[in-house]
Amino acid sequence: MAEEGGGGGVSMEEQIAEAAIKADMEHRGWSGGNGSYYKQEFGSSKNGVHPHYEYHLTKEGLRIEKSPNVDNEDLTAQASSMLSRLQSEVLNYWPRAIDDLFRKWQDAGLPSWGGLAMNASWAKEGADEIRPGTTIDDNGSNLQVGNARLTADLGNLEKRTGQLAGNYARAFSDNYVTPLPPVLQGQFALGSVLAISLEAEKEIWLNTSRDLDSIRHHGLNAMRASAPKTGGGGVDAKVIVTVFAALAGAVAAFATAGGSLAVTAALTAAGAGAWSNLLESPPKKEPEPVPLGAGHPRDVRTNIEKALEKLNEGIRTQEEFLQQILRGANEVAGSKRGAFDLPPAAAEGTVLGKEQDVVVTAEIIAAITAQWIPCIAGDLRLARTKLGVDTAGSFDRPGGIGVGFNGPQPEFKALQETVIGLLGNTATELDEAGAALLSAARTIGLADQAAQAKYEGIAKQINDTNQNTAA
């Protein structure tokens, strides 16, 4: 039996067990003051005299003290039987019972919300790399979000390729330039689903940590109060499980930068099903108080168990929502590939039209092929790196918690592989399209080596420094 009070590195579980022992002993007629000493008095009145004997239970065992007028009877067997029963039903029972309740809920075995938060931030940065910059109204102030330099590059690319003449120019515009902005918006949406999922998992385990602390704290108070003499025989203790709002919290964090609306808009345009509504308006169950207090320690234990079950229900519900979102996003990416990647067919034709608009020069061709296209491809590759964040083990927890021992990790990994595949493929297609355009330009004398070198240098500096503000 440990000393009561919680000092000396005694865990909350050990304190709850000690409080349960004390309450249980009081219910059995024992009294004691500090959790390590109990006594019970026996005897009856005889001829005006009150012979009695006392059982004293300490760390050393059970001893008997008799008053002088007690008959000289041997109480050893009775004491041994009583000690054996107390050890089985109280002293050894409660540490095991409380340990069993919390064994799978130890912090060391649960996902780290701090690690998930870092991964979520990294993934959000990746999604924002391919989010065309825009200005949104943030409570009356103009907020710049996304990649402003990417917006400028896309605008320049569209304007200047629109000034090119010939079959090749039209095919280049139709296959690459025109579909690129909506493709990037679709890829941003898929990447954002990854970021929101990591943020939601972070919220789940941050709230779980807080809820567990609350259950332990209020459970200890309820257990202490269940002692009939020193605790008052019960208290109206309650705990509120907050994990049910995790997904809503994650989406709200994304919505502060106008992100969630852009995500749902892109996914809906691509033909996403009803699951996308979970992002637009995530279910949020109002937390309900779970009672912990009771008049007997065994009833308190049952209530603590119910509170942990309610916590697990919240985790499971939130992770089931995440599974729906991740699976749905991956399915729409596979079935509506044109919304998330450039078409694989190469541009038709081998040369540009020989009669070019007067404003189209070798300098402009160099800007298109050596700066704007490489910079956009660079954004895609950087997004690919950040969205490919290693989450191995990040979702792991003991079996029986949430949707399984690795949570929604399989669904997350499947979508992640789809997204990094799309980003890499689009970047490669742009590289090849730019190279083909330059080759076509050479045939009509619109390629200049010095101009190419100049714009290659500009692109290298932009990509090396991750310059995302418009020049």
Report, as an integer, the average pLDDT of 14-21: 95
Q: Is it the case that residue 347 has pLDDT exceeding 60?
A: no
- Do the beta carbons of residue 378 and residue 459 sit within 8 Å? yes
Tell me: the pLDDT tens digits for 190-233?
A: 999 999 999 999 999 999 999 999 999 999 999 999 999 888 77
Q: Is it the case that residue 263 has pLDDT exceeding 90?
A: no
Q: What share of the chain is helix, strand, coil (3-state, %, to 5)?
A: 60, 10, 30
Q: Which pLDDT score, from 0 to 100, does residue 4 have?
A: 43
The residue among 76 and 367 whose pLDDT is bigger is: 367
Q: How far apart are CA 301 and CA 354, in angstroms?
A: 85
Q: Is it the case that residue 433 has pLDDT exceeding 50?
A: yes
Residue 132's DSSP bridge partners are 147
How many angstroms separate the most distant Cα atoms in the chain?
Answer: 131
Q: Percent of the chain having pLDDT more than 70?
A: 85
Q: Is it the case that residue 15 has pLDDT exceeding 70?
A: yes
Q: Which pLDDT score, from 0 to 100, does residue 5 have?
A: 45
Instruction: Please tell me whether residue 63 adopts helix, strand or coil conformation.
Output: strand
Q: At what angle do helices 297-335 and 409-442 cross, to 10 degrees?
A: 20
Tell me: the pLDDT tens digits for 154-168?
A: 999 999 988 888 878
- Do the beta carbons of residue 264 and residue 332 sit within 8 Å? no
**Up-side HSE of residue 384: CA atoms within 13 Å toward CB?**
17
Most confident option among 22-31, 239-248, 302-311, 443-452:
302-311
Q: Which pLDDT score, from 0 to 100, does residue 257 have?
A: 55
Q: Is it the case that residue 349 has pLDDT exceeding 80?
A: no
> What is the number of other CB atoms lying within 10 angstroms of the CB of residue 47?
7
User: Between β-strands 141-145 and 134-138, what pairing exists: parallel, antiparallel or unpaired?
Assistant: antiparallel
Q: Which pLDDT score, from 0 to 100, does residue 17 have?
A: 96
Q: How far apart are CA 290 and CA 407, in angstroms?
A: 25
Q: Which pLDDT score, from 0 to 100, does residue 2 have?
A: 44
Grade residue 379 by pLDDT with cuts at 50, 70 and 90: very high
Average pLDDT, rounded, for the chain:
85
* Closest by Cα among 403, 239, 240 to 317: 403
pTM (2 d.p.): 0.88
* Closest by Cα among 359, 377, 379, 362 to 454: 362
> Which of 91-95, 150-154, 230-234, 403-407 has the weakest average pLDDT?
230-234
Q: Is it the case that residue 358 has pLDDT exceeding 70?
A: no
Query: What sign does the dihedral 257-261-266-270 (CA atoms) show?
Result: positive
Grade residue 53 by pLDDT with cuts at 50, 70 and 90: low
Q: Which pLDDT score, from 0 to 100, does residue 6 have?
A: 45
Q: Is it the case that residue 389 has pLDDT exceeding 60?
A: yes
Q: Which residues contact 328 (CB under 8 A, 6 or more apart)?
A: 272, 273, 275, 276
Q: How far apart are CA 412 and CA 193, in angstroms?
A: 9
The residue among 71 and 432 whose pLDDT is bigger is: 432
Tell me: the pLDDT tens digits for 411-424?
A: 999 999 999 999 99
The residue among 237 and 54 whose pLDDT is bigger is: 237
The residue among 137 and 207 whose pLDDT is bigger is: 207
Report, as an integer, the average pLDDT of 265-281: 76
Q: Which pLDDT score, from 0 to 100, does residue 18 have?
A: 93
* Closest by Cα among 403, 199, 216 to 312: 403
Q: Which pLDDT score, from 0 to 100, does residue 412 have?
A: 97
The DSSP call for residue 213 is H
What is the separation, in whole angstroms, between the first and last Cα of the chain?
72
Q: Which pLDDT score, from 0 to 100, does residue 276 have?
A: 77
Q: How far apart are CA 343 and CA 294, in angstroms?
A: 66
